[in-house]
Amino acid sequence: MKISQKSFGKTKRGEEATLYTITNKNGMSVSFTDYGANIVSIIVPDSKGNMGDVVLGYDKIVGYEDNAPGFGSFIGRHANRIGDAKFELNGKVYELEKNNGKNNLHGGFVGYNKFIYETEVFEEEDLAGIEFTRLSPHMEQGFPGNLDISVTYSLTEANELVIEYLAVSDKDTLVNLTNHSYFNLAGHDSGTILDQKVWINANQFTPTTDDLIPTGEIRDVTGTPMDFRNLKKIGQEIEAEYEPLRQAGGYDHNYILDISGSDVEKAAMLVDEKSGRVMEVFTNKPGIQVYTSNMLSPVQHGKNGAPYQKWAGICFETQYYPNSCNISAFPSCVLKAGAEYDFVTIYKFSTK
Q: Tell me which DSSP letter residue 143 carries.
A: -
Q: Give burial (CB, 10 Å; 0-12/13-18/19+) of 48.
A: exposed
Q: Which of 78, 106, 180, 253 is flagged as catalytic?
A: 180
- Report the alpha-carbon distance of residue 42 to residue 349 in Å, rounded: 10
List Cβ neighbours of 36 (8 Å cut-off, separation of 6 or more): 64, 67, 73, 74, 111, 112, 113, 114, 115, 117
Our answer to whether residue 124 is catalytic in this structure is no
State the virtual CA torsion across 103, 107, 109, 110 in degrees, nearest 10.
180
Yes or no: say if 110 and 219 are a contact pair by the CB < 8 Å rule.
no
Cβ neighbours of 137 (radius 10 Å): 11
Per-residue CA distances from 175 to 24, 78, 109, 295, 321 (Å): 32, 5, 17, 25, 12
Per-residue CA distances from 306 to 79, 85, 271, 299 (Å): 27, 35, 22, 10
Q: What share of residues in the chain are helix, strand, coil (percent, to 5)?
A: 10, 45, 45
- The pairing of strands 334-335 and 173-174 is antiparallel
Q: Which helix (H) or strand (E) holds 243?
A: helix 243-248
Yes or no: say if 33 and 18 are a contact pair by the CB < 8 Å rule.
yes
- Report the alpha-carbon distance of residue 97 to residue 104 in Å, rounded: 6
Q: Which of 131, 140, 160, 317 is flagged as catalytic?
A: 317
Our answer to whether residue 317 is catalytic in this structure is yes
Q: Is the peptide bond before 298 cis (omega within 30 degrees of 0)?
A: yes
Yes or no: say if 99 and 80 are a contact pair by the CB < 8 Å rule.
no
Active centre residues (catalytic): 180, 317
